[in-house]
């Protein structure tokens, strides 16, 4: 029961990474153009670190790195421009 609760809490925190990443993307538009390479590197490190945490069975490593990957990957998404007709 305790393990299930920790897992559910971790998943909820990962899902919260999406709006946090969107907020950071909206507030830091000028840094996104120059830092695309760094966001890709940070996302890759986050994903690899998350899988290391999965293999080691350490939940805190898994959720920390996946949270970093989610938040940093939101800056890689480009907004579609609305066309005027």
At residue 82, the pLDDT reads: 61
- Evaluate whether residue 83 is within a structural domain: no
Cα dihedral across residues 8, 9, 14, 16: positive or negative: positive
Which positions ≥6 away from 58 have C-beta within 8 Å? none
User: Tens place of pLDDT for every residue, the chain, 85 residues?
Assistant: 788 888 898 899 999 999 998 888 888 877 777 778 888 899 999 999 999 999 998 888 999 999 999 998 888 877 665 656 5
Of the chain, the end-to-end C-alpha distance in Å amounts to: 56
At residue 64, the pLDDT reads: 92
At residue 79, the pLDDT reads: 65
- Evaluate whether residue 19 is within a structural domain: yes
CA angle 65, 70, 76 (to 5 degrees): 125
Domain that holds residue 41: 2-76
At residue 1, the pLDDT reads: 79
Q: How far apart are CA 49 and CA 54, in angstroms?
A: 9
- Evaluate whether residue 58 is within a structural domain: yes
The tally of domains found in the chain comes to 1
């Amino acid at each position: 029961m305790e393990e299930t609760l920790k897992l559910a809490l971790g998943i909820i925190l990962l899902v919260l990474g999406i709006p946090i990443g969107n907020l950071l993307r909206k507030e830091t538009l000028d840094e996104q153009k120059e830092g695309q390479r760094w966001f890709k590197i940070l996302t890759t490190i986050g994903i690899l670190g998350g899988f290391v945490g999965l293999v080691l069975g350490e939940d805190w490593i898994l959720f920390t790195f996946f949270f970093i990957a989610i938040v940093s990957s939101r800056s890689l998404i480009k907004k579609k421009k609305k066309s005027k007709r």
